[in-house]
Amino acid sequence: MSNPTVSPVNSVSPVISVSPLTSYTRAFGGLLLRDLYVLRREIGPFLIRVCMNPLLFLFVFTYIMPHMGSSGAALNPTAQMAAGAGANFSTVLLPGLIAVAIMFSGIAAVALPLAQEFGITREIDDRVMCPLPVTAVALEKVIFSAVQSIFAACVVFPMAYYVPSTKVEAHVTSWPFLIAVVILASLLSGALGLTIGTLVPPKQIGLIFGVVVMPITFLGCVYYPWIALRFNPVLQYGVLINPIVYISEGLRAALTPALGHMNQGLILLMLCIFLALLLKIGFDGFRRRVIS
């Protein structure tokens, strides 16, 4: 009896090749999903960090002071300016507080973790070992911070709309423009956080919030429209180097168009310019810190 036919031993199973782009996409998505999972576990502290500052401003300036009557208005020059412009201070404050939430959330989501990862433990080395270019690792941090900033804007908006005792006169004039401003602002805040986190030594990162972040906030047209600075032309044009000015003015143009605001095309152009500049600085700094 003849032996049964045996398959050739030299048959080879087909090998499925994976393109570098697919490999990079999977690794990038894995990093992003990991960070989102960690954020979900820490959603409580995140919400407290996002809501506390806007809530205090709203409660004091748009709830307590209006109930104080004329004396409250006398103590609030910005409220007097808003009243003279035909708008209450709650309407003026709405876009600015959303801008602050976007900026603070984006900076904190990148700069503070980088201070820890670039510290003595060098936790950043675990991230750069994944199959991704070093710049892509930095980009993932910016995009993750942008997700947090968009979420922060969505959380602060209803709070800034319903907490004030006076009615907020806000309506969306153009949804595409509003979405573009929020996305660009969120990416810009993450890029600024990346720049701060890579250029500032970890031990001094806390000092930066008092020396840099707070001044750019108060000079960022958050609590007043840019047109209100026309009494001092030097100051009015000097603050144009501050990126948060364009975030505040963009949200003001989209949500409270009755107030004076910058040209919408100029706002989008400057947001793109600042985003490209800060990404370039942040990527270069990230590569230097990783290699050193």
- pLDDT for 271 equals 96
Whether residue 73 lies inside any domain: the answer is yes
Contact status, residue 264 vs residue 176, Cβ threshold 8 Å: no
- pLDDT for 71 equals 45
Whether residue 14 lies inside any domain: the answer is no
Task: Tell me which residue range forms the domain holding 54.
Answer: 20-291
Our count of domains for the chain comes to 1
Whether residue 181 lies inside any domain: the answer is yes
Q: How confident is the model at residue 184 (pLDDT cuts 50, 70, 90)?
A: very high
Distance CA 249, CA 264 (A): 9
DSSP string, 134-189: HHHHHHHHHHHHHHHHHHHHHHHHHHHHHSSSSPP----S-HHHHHHHHHHHHHHH
Whether residue 10 lies inside any domain: the answer is no
Minimal CA–CA distance to 213: which of 228, 196, 198? 196
Q: What is the mean pLDDT of the chain?
A: 80
Whether residue 61 lies inside any domain: the answer is yes
What's the rounded mean pLDDT across residues 264-270?
94
Minimal CA–CA distance to 103: which of 144, 35, 150? 150
Q: How confident is the model at residue 87 (pLDDT cuts 50, 70, 90)?
A: low
Whether residue 7 lies inside any domain: the answer is no
Identify which of 57-66, 151-160, 186-195 has the greatest average pLDDT.
Answer: 186-195
Whether residue 227 lies inside any domain: the answer is yes
Residue 93 burial (CB count, 10 A): 26
Whether residue 285 lies inside any domain: the answer is yes
pLDDT tens per residue across span 101-147: 899 888 888 888 887 777 666 767 667 777 778 888 889 899 999 99
